[in-house]
Amino acid sequence: MIKAGIIGATGYAGGELVRILLGHKEVELKWYGSKSYIGQKYAEVYRNMFQLVENICSDDDIAKLAEEVDVIFTATPQGYLAGLLTEGILEKAKVIDLSADYRIQDVAVYEAWYKLTHKSPQFLKEAVYGLCEKNREAVKGARLVANPGCYPTCSYLTVAPLVQAGYLDLHTLIIDAKSGTSGAGRGAKVDNLYCEVNENIKAYGVAAHRHTPEIEEQLGYAAGEPVTLNFTPHLVPMNRGILITAYAVVKEGVTEAMLREAYEQAYGSEKFVRFLEPGVCPQTKWVEGSNYVDVNVVLDNRTGRVIMMGAMDNLVKGAAGQAVQNMNLMFGFPEDTGLNLVPMFP
| Interacting residues with a second copy between 285 and 324 (CB under 8 A) | 285-290, 294, 298-300, 302-303, 305, 307, 309, 311
Q: Is residue 223 a contact point for a second copy (CB under 8 A)?
A: no
Task: Pick from 63, 108, 138, 206 the residue near a second copy by CB under 8 A.
Answer: 206
Residue 64: how many CB atoms within 10 A of its CB?
A: 13
Nearest residue to 251 via CA among 295, 291, 304, 324: 304
Q: Is residue 257 a contact point for a second copy (CB under 8 A)?
A: no
Q: Is residue 280 a contact point for a second copy (CB under 8 A)?
A: yes
Spot the catalytic one: 150, 154, 195, 281. Answer: 150
Query: Can 150 be counted among the known catalytic residues?
Result: yes
Q: Is residue 105 a contact point for a second copy (CB under 8 A)?
A: no
Bridge partners for 31 per DSSP: 5
Q: Is residue 204 a contact point for a second copy (CB under 8 A)?
A: yes
Q: How far apart are the C-alpha atoms of 289 and 180, rounded to whole Å?
A: 13
Bridge partners for 267 per DSSP: none
* CB contact burial 318-333 (16+ within 10 A = b; e otherwise): bbbbbbbbbbbbbbeb
Considering only residues 155-174, where is the footprint of a second copy by CB under 8 A?
A: 172, 174
* CB contact burial 82-93 (16+ within 10 A = b; e otherwise): bebbeeebbebb
Residues touching a second copy, count (CB under 8 A): 81
Q: How far apart are the C-alpha atoms of 58 and 36, rounded to whole Å?
A: 10
Piece of the chain touching a second copy by CB under 8 A; list 17-25, 87-95, 136-144, 322-330: 17-25
Q: Is residue 252 a contact point for a second copy (CB under 8 A)?
A: no
Q: Is residue 229 a contact point for a second copy (CB under 8 A)?
A: yes
Residue 52: how many CB atoms within 10 A of its CB?
A: 12
Task: Pick from 240, 254, 328, 330 the residue near a second copy by CB under 8 A.
Answer: 240
Q: Is residue 245 a contact point for a second copy (CB under 8 A)?
A: yes
Considering only residues 48-67, where is the footprint of a second copy by CB under 8 A?
A: 48-52
Q: How far apart are the C-alpha atoms of 279 and 274, rounded to whole Å?
A: 14
Q: Is residue 14 a contact point for a second copy (CB under 8 A)?
A: no
Q: Is residue 77 a contact point for a second copy (CB under 8 A)?
A: no
Would you call 303 exposed, middle or buried from its count of C-beta atoms within 10 A (0-12, 13-18, 19+)?
exposed
Q: Is residue 25 a contact point for a second copy (CB under 8 A)?
A: no
Task: Pick from 3, 35, 140, 234 the residue near a second copy by CB under 8 A.
Answer: 234
Task: Pick from 197, 323, 329, 330 the residue near a second copy by CB under 8 A.
Answer: 197
Which string of DSSP letters, residue by residue, matches 139-167? HHT-SEEEPPPHHHHHHHHHHHHHHHTT-
Minimum distance between the CB of residue 48 and a second copy, rounded to whole angstroms?
4
Q: Is residue 276 a contact point for a second copy (CB under 8 A)?
A: yes
Element housing 247 (H / E): strand 242-249
Of 47 and 125, which has the nearer Cβ to a second copy? 47
Q: Is residue 108 a contact point for a second copy (CB under 8 A)?
A: no
Report the catalytic residues: 150
